[in-house]
Amino acid sequence: MIIAIPREIEANESRVAATPYSAAEFIKAGYTVRLESGAGDKSFFNDKDYQSVNAEIVSSKEPLFNGANIIIKVAPPSIKEINLMAKGTVCVSFFQPTIDIEKVKTMSSAGITGISMHLIPRTTLAQKMDALSSQANISGYKSVLMGSVHMGVFMPLLMTAAGTIRPARVLILGAGVSGLQAIATAKRLGAQVEAFDVRPEVKEQVESLGAKFVEVSSESDDGVGEGGYAKETSDEYKQKQQQLIREHISQADMVITTALIPGRKAPILINKDVVEIMKPGSVIMDLAAENGGNCELTEKDSVVKHHQVVIDGTSNIPATMPIHASELYAKNIAALISYMTNDSGLNLDMDDEIIAGATYTHDGSITHEATKDILKDQ
């Protein structure tokens, strides 16, 4: 069985789907590993590193995909890449099928099985495959460091001969994996940290990291969705939320927003008028920039200023730490491949919760229910 690893073609993607270590593990398990030359360069893994573990190196995608059973990527495949894949090929990558409808249709028509790391269920059994969480940890950590570069103040309390410098005030909107890591990182750097989340059950986690939990008074579990993810909230809740955020954001030196709803445009938490009441020299790190952003003024992959406030819309923060990001992602991918194969080869059991949940096209059909619903309405 051949596993193929192409070189990522997106300009801001520096990760690779398999490291020399994970390639060696695949080879030990009996797979043939084929790598497009230069695939690991941006992650600081060169062709010789892969050759040293007996991976094959090819010059381009045509020979790479020829005869490949499984293609593993980080970014979603391009239409050009999809057109090079043979019927029956399994392609594993990050992919948001409800947003990338045309590619879903192309893959379905070509008979390609598409498996998305975005769709791995958050269950105990699937933990080792949960690439969203592994990469979100990096986003949360690095966003604090990036934000501190933009800020005009120190993070910790400083006692100097010239007087005392107060610690920075950091507000985290969304206490999922990236938000919790941002809290921990900001606390380690000495900041005063507050966090808000629509899910009241995360209060204990926030407080265990030393942050203050800011909560909207509500009698319902308005923000709690399936699998522990956040969901769309009611208009009344949103109104209370906006007022509360407005009060706290005006005092913050750094705001990190992490609110995402799977398969949907990111909710707007910070409107233009809220940015205009923020302190001069403060910063917003918008970790939802890839899906439109939590700030009305966010521009994907741009840093903009409004009213002396910096708004950073870097959409692929994990790629700024490509070594560890690739190592973690490669482990997630390896765990998934181990799960969906056996001694006889591929075992795509569409009755299995993990495989069925992560698959969006199979045997010439679109299998992802939310995507099918969108297509019905078109």
Enzyme catalytic residues: 122, 127, 130, 133, 229
Instruction: Provide the token pair at 366.
Output: 């679109």
CA–CA dist 300, 135 (Å, integer): 18
Q: Enter the DSSP assignment of 230.
A: B
Query: In this structure, are residues 365 and 108 in contact, taking their beta carbons and an 8 Å threshold?
Result: yes
Q: Enter the DSSP assignment of 295.
A: B
Query: In this structure, are residues 20 and 45 in contact, taking their beta carbons and an 8 Å threshold?
Result: yes
CA–CA dist 350, 342 (Å, integer): 15
Q: Using CB atoms within 10 A of its CB, is residue 345 exposed (0-12), middle (13-18) or buried (19+)? A: exposed
Contacts of 78 (CB under 8 A, 6+ apart): 9
Q: Enter the DSSP assignment of 74.
A: S
DSSP assignments along 140-204, one per residue: HHHHHHHHHHH-SS-SS-EEETTEEEPPPEEEEE--SHHHHHHHHHHHHTT-EEEEE-S-GGGHH
Q: What is the dihedral of CA 284, 287, 288, 290, to 10 degrees?
A: 110
3-state secondary structure of 304: strand
Q: Using CB atoms within 10 A of its CB, is residue 108 exposed (0-12), middle (13-18) or buried (19+)? A: buried
CA–CA dist 374, 372 (Å, integer): 5
Q: How far apart are the first and last CA of the chain?
A: 39
Query: In this structure, are residues 254 and 170 in contact, taking their beta carbons and an 8 Å threshold?
Result: yes
Q: Enter the DSSP assignment of 293.
A: -
Instruction: Provide the token pair at 39.
Output: 């695939």
Q: How many CB atoms lie within 10 A of CB 240?
A: 15
User: Residue 177 — left, alpha, or beta (φ > 0 → left; ψ -120 to 50 → alpha)?
Assistant: alpha
